[in-house]
Amino acid sequence: MTGVATFPRTLVFGAAAAAGAPFALALLGPLFGEAGALAALAIAVSAAYLLGLARRPATGLGAALALTLSGVGGIALGATPLALAALCAVLIGVLRSGLLRRDARAGSDFGRAFALEAALVGGGLALGAWLARGSAFPVSLALWGFFLVQSGFFLVGGPAAAAARDAAPAGEADPFERAQRRAQELLKREVRA
């Protein structure tokens, strides 16, 4: 499953989220109020991004559920929409490098992943905040700017890092993919015979 796990697909996801934000806010605003609509949008977009990053749907669903529950907890504790957006951004970074797209190469360490995610999350939040100032569509530009920076995750480290992030960790192969490989091996044997 590739979802948004490439540089161009993350850019497209960010553009789609930005384009859909005014419509989502218009629909959610009367139900939840302005602050509630912004919070719901931040949680929904972040959860959708995590679902798209996962190699397996079950892992993506678990990450999205963890983010959603954390976001709902933040709302229950009275977090502002800005604080909730920052929480969602931090959770994206933690879950992306810690669970969904971990670098499986030997010698890849926590410090490198932490520095990368701190730069991407901090840079994304800073660019989003800067683009939103004085704009007619501040939420849309903030979303687009944030995901513009997040797309850099797939450029950092070059092809070796990308291959390591795309490879499933040992013992975590998808059962469907194993069955597909086995069927292809059997078909190759039949063709040779």
pTM for this model (two decimals): 0.81
The tens-digit pLDDT sequence of the chain (193 residues) is 468 888 999 999 999 999 999 999 999 999 999 999 999 999 999 999 999 998 888 999 999 999 999 999 999 999 999 999 999 999 999 999 888 887 766 566 778 888 999 999 999 999 999 999 988 899 999 999 999 999 999 888 655 566 666 666 555 566 667 777 777 777 777 766 5
Q: What is the DSSP letter of 93?
A: H
Both structure tokens of 193: 């015979």
Look up the domain containing 130 and give its range. Answer: 7-192
Contact 54, 63 (CB under 8 A): yes
Rounded to whole angstroms, how far apart are CA atoms 110 and 23? 39
Q: What is the pLDDT of residue 1?
A: 47
Is 28 a domain residue?
A: yes
Q: What is the pLDDT of residue 175?
A: 67
Domains held by the chain: number: 1
Is 1 a domain residue?
A: no
Q: What is the pLDDT of residue 187?
A: 76
Is 88 a domain residue?
A: yes
